[in-house]
Amino acid sequence: MKKSELVDALAAAADLNKSQAEAAIDALPGIVLSALKDGGSIVLPGIAKIEAKHRAARDARNPSSGETIKLPATTVAGFKVVKPFKDAVSKIKTG
């Protein structure tokens, strides 16, 4: 689904005009980033939980050269799908 299709679907489902639906979709990344600051989390009801996770510094191996490199500590986004959504997706037949 492309963004324009998502805008149309959200506008229809939430009884919004297209500009309101697009504004809501455009605001979402900023809202999520704001919630994740300082290790927080955000729940997208019925879909998933996104949380900031600390990844410790570690050694890794370059697969082409075999050389060991050091990766610095970093913060990553963890995305965990809620069980009812995961179960519903598992029932979708794909071609």
pTM of the shown model: 0.73
Could you tell me the two tokens for 79?
């995305």
95 located within any domain: no
Residues 6+ apart with CB under 8 A from 60: 68, 69, 70, 71
- What is the model's pLDDT at position 38? 75
Per-residue pLDDT for the chain (95 aa), expressed as one digit of tens each?
999 999 999 999 999 999 999 999 999 999 999 999 977 899 999 999 999 999 999 999 999 999 999 999 999 999 999 999 999 999 998 87
Task: Please tell me the total count of domains within the chain.
Answer: 1
55 located within any domain: yes
Domain range for 62 is 3-90
Grouping H, G, I as helix, E, B as strand and the rest as coil, residue 43 is strand
15 located within any domain: yes
> CB–CB of 72/57 below 8 Å?
yes
- What is the model's pLDDT at position 85? 94
Specify the CATH number for the domain of residue 40.
Answer: 4.10.520.10
